[in-house]
Structures are given as structure tokens and as C-alpha cells.
Amino acid sequence: MDTAIMAGGCFWCTEAVFRDVVGVTGVESGYIGGTTPNPTYKEVCTGHTGHAEAIRVTFDPDMISLAEIYDVFLGTHDPTQLNRQGNDIGTQYRSAIFPLSEQQRAEAEAAIRRWNAAHGRQAVTTIEGLSGGVQTAQWYPAEDYHQDYWIGEGQRNPYCLAVIPPKLMKLRKSFQKYVKD
């Protein structure tokens, strides 16, 4: 198994997308990239902790490559929006990849170049937290009620009902070969 950490706006949305991706065996919502130790959702929502809402994806590289994970990530949110996704505004909603190694950094850079070339626009997705080949940004799992949010509470939440189904449709349309049966 391998692990990738990415931030693409609201973690409820990115978690919902990656739960449907072939080879993904786990998705955990959390916070990364800030300065406040053990941040809470309420603290991160202020935008003052420096953390991004992110997901940590565990996947089988024999079924889906890291490059494909990054392509799905970039293709299912808008990586051209700086510090926002739709109506979610603030640095906590930034588009970012947090590589766990130099190889992951190289894959992230290549994925951003592929996206830019394919779309004729520039992604503002940042690559953060890697120093000397080691991820220096601390991962903090989000509170339990944020895990599997779309599967439970999210399908009764008007915000989620407005935002998540279009992302899932984009996954199914643009990345059909990566969608679980």
C-alpha cells in the first residue's frame, strides 16, 4: 500500500470522490500544513491556523499509480482557484499536494504540468511541506464526525447535496476507468 496527502477544498468533497476510486483502500479527512498543534475544525475554519482541509488516501499501487491518483485529484476540483473552491474561501480550502518523498514531489510536479498542458491554464496547486526528502508538515486526523461524512450526514446536508454530486459526476465522466464498480 502507498499513501498520498492532498487538499482540494472541503475535505468532505475530496473524501467522497476518492472513496469511489479503484485501488483506494482508505480515505481519512484531516488537517495539514499549519502551525497550530492538534487543531480543531472550528480553529481551522477561522483560517488562522494555516492548515488545509485535506485527505490522506491509502491505495494499492498495483491497481492505480500515484500519477493517476494525482490526475484524478487535479481533475475533480478546480486547481486554478487560489485559496478557495467555489463558495468555500480561505487558505484552509487551498489546492495543495503534500508529498511524502522526493518521488512523490516529482510525480506531483509532473501531474501539475500534465494538467496545465491539457487545459491551457495554470493550476495554482502548491506542493508543500517536503524538506530534505521528508514530509515536515504534521498530519492531524479530523474529528470522527468528519470521517465518511458523505456516506452518513452529508447526504442530508444541503451544502453537500449541492457540491458533491457534481464532483462525483465529473469523476464518472472524466475518469471512468478509475471508478469502482
Domains plus CATH for the chain? 2-178 (3.30.1060.10)
Half-sphere exposure of 43 (CA within 13 A, CB side): 16
Annotated catalytic residue within 10, 13, 45, 160: 10
Q: What is the pLDDT of residues 90-109, one digit of tens each?
A: 999 999 999 999 999 999 99
Of 131, 114, 112, 132, nearest to 123 (Cα)?
112
Annotation says 45 is catalytic: no
Check: CB of residue 78 under 8 Å from CB of residue 38. Answer: no
> How does residue 51 score in pLDDT terms, banded at 50, 70 and 90?
very high
Model pTM score: 0.96
Cα 99 versus chain centre, distance: 12
Rounded CA gap, 123 and 132, in Å? Answer: 25
- What DSSP character marks residue 145? G
Task: Identify the pLDDT of residue 47.
Answer: 95
- Name the packing angle between helices 66-75 and 158-174 (round to 10°): 130
Rounded CA gap, 56 and 38, in Å? Answer: 16
- What DSSP character marks residue 114? H
Q: What is the pLDDT of residues 104-135, one digit of tens each?
A: 999 999 999 999 999 999 999 999 998 888 88
